[in-house]
Chain A
Amino acid sequence: MFIYLNALKNLLRNKGRNILVGVILLIVMTATTVSLSVNSMSGAMIDNFTEGIGVPTTIRVDWDWARNHMTTTTIESPDGSIRSSSNFNAIEIPIELYVAFADSIYVQDFLSSAMAQYASDDIVPAISLYQPLTLEKLMAQFNAQTYEELVTMFQQMGSDEDYIESLIDAKPTTVGMIWGFSKASLMGDFRRGEKRLLEGRFFEDLNETVISSELAAKNNIKLGDIITVSGNSQTHDKETINLTVVGMFEDIMGEVQPQLGVAQEITPGIDDLIVSFDTLYNAGFHRIDPSTMTYFLTHPEVTAAFLSEMQGKGLHEMFMLDYDLDEYYAVVDPVRDMSGIAVTFGIVILITGAVILVFLSVINIRERKYEVGVLRAIGMKKHQLARGMIYESLTLVTLCTLIGLPLGVLLSRPIAGILLDTSSGLEMAREFSAGILSLLLAVAVILGIISSFIGILYITKYEPIRILQERT
């Protein structure tokens, strides 16, 4: 105990030196706190940002794989010429698999839309009645002599045999398309002002629908009415579902032709129904075509793991993930860079401070050499002296940490705002955590040891008689 009390008294006896050491320690601890806090806040900002939007990811064909797996077919034209065409048999991903992929720890959000043809005994289309097709009519329409020829023609147009079947299998009461969206914000035509809601609201619950004002007028449908629809496959769609009309939209763009060269998104027509994605998915229609399937991943680094998980669930090797990280990195990279600057600055201050402390320690021990000699001469043991020096250093470091830590915390937020050139998001970021406290305490201990290290080396190296003889 007397060693510690003597150490405290020594701190007061050597005021000038200790004030200087204290100032340096205070600067180091404050700067280290600021550096670590800015780093922590940056990390929190990045996490909040990532959590907020995720990494938008879609599935696309791996065209390298496709090129390596093309099939070449040779066709003889009626005029006798031979032509070959290379085809790639794209595999359709069933909508159930798309939905299954979304059930993943890597997916924080899933935006989806799909469409299917619907039929109804209650509704007639506002534009024109659907004309059912037979296989014969279709073959005649495309001038195909055989079914296989028809299939080949459709394949050359990018459609498959299933499409042919959908044409000839359609119910005569087919009205139009039913569109399912997981979020109303996916409906770009409403966002762009091409359509607008005239009455009611968008769907919120299952089995709610929004229809066009033309379709409503044609069929005398009002808000709140229930319409009964089914899928349009004669063979497969036997069940019906009831939809409640909750909103009516007006197609402002209507028949207006777009400018040439302007890309057009396919959007619901006036005979179409708009429902939630879950409504359409749960309806279980035979043919549902997925439209938008965007997975928002939790972090850019999980893309490989997510792809692996999808392949485990049945995603064919011909598909790969497509993700755009430019927007993500455009926000994250500057934050990371500034955080890196803060950490580098903190490390530089730490090293510089440690070097200065060693310097001061060397000067100090020269001044206190005589004191060491006297204490050893009257019987103080080396380890007692060393302990005294460590107590002095640790007391000083503790005091400076107790002042520097809250000071650093106070300064870190405004400094982070200046470095990051924003205060947006900072208010949500915690500048302090148990991890930072542990690091700071470790830094404090290391600085305390460094500042007493030279003294301890001296004590162990020189005998008291030499020190006292030097003085005399």
Chain B
Amino acid sequence: MNTLAINNVTYKYGKTTKSVLKNVTANFEKGVLYCIVGKSGAGKSTLLSLISGLDLCTSGAVLYENEDLSTMNRDEYRARNIGVIFQGYNLLTNCSAVENIVLSMNISNCRERCPQRSAKEHVYSLLEKLGIDKETANRKVLKLSGGEQQRVGIARALSNNPEIIIADEPTGNLDGETAKGIMDIFVKLAHEENKCVIIVTHSKDVAAYADQIMRIVNGKLEVQNK
């Protein structure tokens, strides 16, 4: 069974006649790292918003474990089943890095599996793996660099141990070494922890890590042989 399936999805913005995505069909499975590439404005972020349940397609269906997202509780879906890493980080600026992630864990209810104290420790440990020490983790997000914020965003997406990880330019603001480290984590998540990892990127270096590359051209999705 496919973890995620996109069946003939078409998307138009508002009342426009032009479709951003046209009859897009794709399947996503666990244990695979996918990269979606394409020019700016091709519809990559739009596809990302559809598969993350932030928006609904104009026609067609996005299925999660054979269940149509349009009929599901998409808040639950975003909280428990997926982890989204946004291009603009989308962190709560008046909270610290730790607070951002602990709140996300509370929303997804994954804290019921671990009490208060160990949840914070879990977050510190997660951030440490991404190169953020405890002191930095306790700072307000606005006082972090772009790269640090990006890593906090990644940590937040991973904090609830989702089955599907969706990332929009996750290494955009990171230096080469850190970016490599992040990509190694994504590979490990896909191959060792059997997650379905979907990354939208412009970077060829990032695309090189993918098990499967999909290209959006003129609103259509093409699967490319690696």
Contacts from A to B (Cβ < 8 Å): 2, 6, 9-10, 13-14, 370-371, 373-382, 384, 463-465, 468, 471-472
Contacts and interface: CB of A to CB of B under 8 A. Distances in A.
Given A6-B103, A465-B49, A465-B54, A379 B76 contact: yes
Q: Give chain A's interface secondary structure class.
A: helix
B189 interface: no
A3 to B, nearest CB: 8
Contact of B156 (A10, A371, A378, A380): A378
Contact of B54 (A2, A377, A382, A472): A377
Nearest to A381: B75
Interface of B: 49, 54-55, 75-80, 84, 86-88, 90-95, 99, 103-104, 106-108, 111, 156
B94 A377 contact: no
Nearest to B87: A472
Max chain A Cβ within 10 angstroms of own Cβ: one of B54, B86, B156: B54
Given A379-B76, A380-B79, A471-B88, A14 B107 contact: no
A464 B91 CA distance: 13
Given A13-B94, A13-B95, A378 B79 contact: yes
B86 A377 contact: yes
A374 B75 contact: no
Contacts of A371: 92, 94
Contact of A375 (B80, B87, B94, B107): B107
Contacts of A2: 103, 106, 111
B60 to A, nearest CB: 18
B88 A378 contact: no
B107 A378 contact: yes
Given A464-B54, A465-B54, A465-B55, A377 B106 contact: no
Please give me the 10 A-B residue pairs with the lowest Cβ-Cβ distance, nearest first.
A379-B79, A379-B78, A2-B106, A465-B54, A13-B94, A381-B75, A374-B90, A465-B55, A380-B107, A379-B107
Contacts of B87: 472
Contact of A374 (B55, B79, B92, B111): B92
A465 B84 CA distance: 13
Contact of B78 (A14, A377, A382, A468): A377
A370 B84 CA distance: 16
Given A371-B92, A465-B49, A465-B55, A377 B84 contact: yes
